[in-house]
Each structure stands twice: as structure tokens, then as C-alpha cells.
Amino acid sequence: MSRIFEVAIDGGPYALAAGRDGAMWVTLVHRGAIARVGAGGDLEVYPVAEGSKPSIITAGPDGALWFTRAGDDRIGRISTDGLQTDYQLPSGSAPFGITAGPDGALWFTAMGTGVIGRVDVDGDLSEQAAPGGMPSSIITGPDNALWFTLNQANAIGRLHRGQLEVRTLPTPKAGPVGIAQTHDDAVWFTEVLADKVGRIPLNEAIQELDLPGKPHAVVADPSGGVWVSLWGADQIAHVSGDGEVDTIDLPAGSEPHGLAIGPDGALWVALEAGFVMRLPTA
């Protein structure tokens, strides 16, 4: 990675995802908007709706960016030229996590109703499972199953071909939030209330590692291990596959949340205090 830069964006940058256009797309949870940050730092902002609270965003199989609207119970879609559509969910759904699934559809969590839902690229919605427990982040795992955190149930869920499994965490009241698939065929997740990061090798016991600072989001490092945002410590942590931890200090009060890897392998961070940062990783 050649250089570090940051882009100031009003409205609470919360999560980000790389688009097929080479840009980073960012949810602005307090502003009700989506931002596009080009590789050179150029900025465009697309209003969504007041009170919509765009939360998590992901690249869809159709080349568009799909995102949850926790404030007005909708799933949003924005093309790389800025055209938007949205799909209404039942009142009180409070969708949060979203990911591209192995079946060419988008899968999302509904925190308010405890549901795992599915929306295909034509906008057809369906409820797939209702584990309760405030499902939060969701990803497609290395086994092509859907893995998700159950924040209030203190558990990790797995959904595959309609079969739901729930695995309780070793630490009580851990508050799992972020989750990611990694290159070691494992699933990693954060425990924001327990100051830990967890790892699940497929079909093996859950492992936990102390990581003070209210770990929030987690993303796989292409070079190995994971990056974790430490929301309460204003830091980014790198955790290697064998548990070694290194941290990067960010400005005080920056509130790091979402993480994403750019097309060139660079690490991008959404800081709710009002900017997006691209960090050197080597």
C-alpha cells in the first residue's frame, strides 16, 4: 500500500464495501445517505431518506451495492451510477447485517424481529429462519453456509439449506457483533461486551482471545489473520492466525466501526466521528 489518506464525510460513516467500479461505498447512518469514495479520495454523496439509518453494505452479485436501512425497515440497492431502489420489510424489522449468499441472492438479519431473510436481485423477499436473539452481522462462510452473530442470545448461528444450528459462546453476555470468513477456513467474530475476538474452525470448538477496546467489526486480511476495529479504544488491531496482536492508534474520539479491504488489498476504516481512512498495512 503506497500511502495513507483520510476523507472527511459528515453523517456518521458506519460500514463500507468495495464496489466493482473500484470505489469504496460507505453508509452514513446519521445522515441517511450513501457515500462513494474513489481510489483517489474523490467524494460523492447520495441521499437515501431522513431517518433511514443505512447500516451495513455489501457488493451484490448484480454489480450494485445492497444495504440495510435499520431506521425505516427497508433493504436498499444503489447502482454504481447512483440509481436507487428499495424493498419494504415488516414494521419493526430493523435490518442490520447483509451479505451476498452462495445462491446469488442477498441475505440479511432483522434485529427487531429476530429473523434471517433473503432478497433476490429482482427484489423478491422471503423469511428463511427466525432464531430470535437479535441477529446482527451475517456472512457466507467457507462451507457456503450463512453464519451470523446472535447479539442477545450470546451465540453464533449457522443456516444451511434450511437447517439452523446455534452455538452458544463460552463467555456469558459477550455481545457478539461482527463476523467474517477468513482464509484459514474459519469464521471469526467479535464480542463487544466481553472485549474478545472469537474464532470457529469448522466443526471444531469455539476459541476466544482477549482484545480490550470493545471490538466491533472484523475483516480478513489477505496476507493472513484478521483486522478488528476497537471502537472503545480508537484503535485497529491485527490478529494473526496464531493469536499475535498488533494495534494501530487512530485519532482520539474517532469511533472506528466498519472495515473493508480495497481492490488493491488496502485496509479501509469507517470512523463514525466523520471520516473514512485508508491505512497502510505493510
Q: Per DSSP, which regions of 48-175 are E strands?
A: 54-59, 65-69, 74-78, 84-88, 95-100, 106-110, 115-119, 125-129, 135-140, 146-150, 155-160, 163-168
pLDDT given at position 131: 97
| pLDDT one-digit tens code per residue, 39-79 | 888 999 999 999 999 999 999 999 999 999 999 999 999 99
Q: Can you tell me the distance from the alpha carbon of 215 to that of 177, in angstroms, rounded to the nearest whole number?
A: 9
Which among 200, 241, 237 has a CA at the least distance from the CA of 224? 241
- 262, burial (CB in 10 Å: exposed 0-12, middle 13-18, buried 19+): middle
pLDDT given at position 253: 95
Higher pLDDT, 2 or 82: 82
User: What is the distance in angstroms between the CA of the first residue and the CA of the last residue of the chain?
Assistant: 7
Q: How many helical (H) and strand (E) elements, i.e. helices and strands, does the chain have?
A: 0, 28
Higher pLDDT, 181 or 281: 181
**Quick check: 18 and 26 in contact, CB under 8 A?**
no
Reported confidence tier of residue 241, pLDDT bands at 50, 70, 90: confident
pLDDT given at position 143: 94
Domain tally, the chain: 1
pLDDT at 1 over 50: no
Higher pLDDT, 241 or 120: 120
pLDDT given at position 3: 62
pLDDT given at position 279: 87
- 252, burial (CB in 10 Å: exposed 0-12, middle 13-18, buried 19+): exposed
Q: Cα 95 to chain center, whole Å?
A: 12
Q: Range of 249's domain?
A: 5-279
Q: Can you tell me the distance from the alpha carbon of 158 to that of 222, in angstroms, rounded to the nearest whole number?
A: 24
Helix (H, G, I), strand (E, B) or coil at 136: strand
| pLDDT one-digit tens code per residue, 263-280 | 888 999 999 999 999 987
Q: Can you tell me the distance from the alpha carbon of 175 to that of 83, in angstroms, rounded to the nearest whole number?
A: 36
Higher pLDDT, 121 or 263: 121
Write the CATH number for 187.
2.130.10.10
pTM confidence score: 0.96
pLDDT given at position 203: 73
Reported confidence tier of residue 282, pLDDT bands at 50, 70, 90: low
Kindly name the residue from 30, 160, 238, 257 that is annotated as catalytic.
257
pLDDT at 205 over 90: no
**Quick check: 126 and 84 in contact, CB under 8 A?**
no
pLDDT given at position 273: 95
- 257 is known as an active-site residue: yes
pLDDT at 184 over 90: no
| pLDDT one-digit tens code per residue, 124-135 | 999 999 999 999
Mean pLDDT, all residues of the chain: 95
Which among 76, 53, 52, 49 has a CA at the least distance from the CA of 65? 76
pLDDT given at position 146: 98
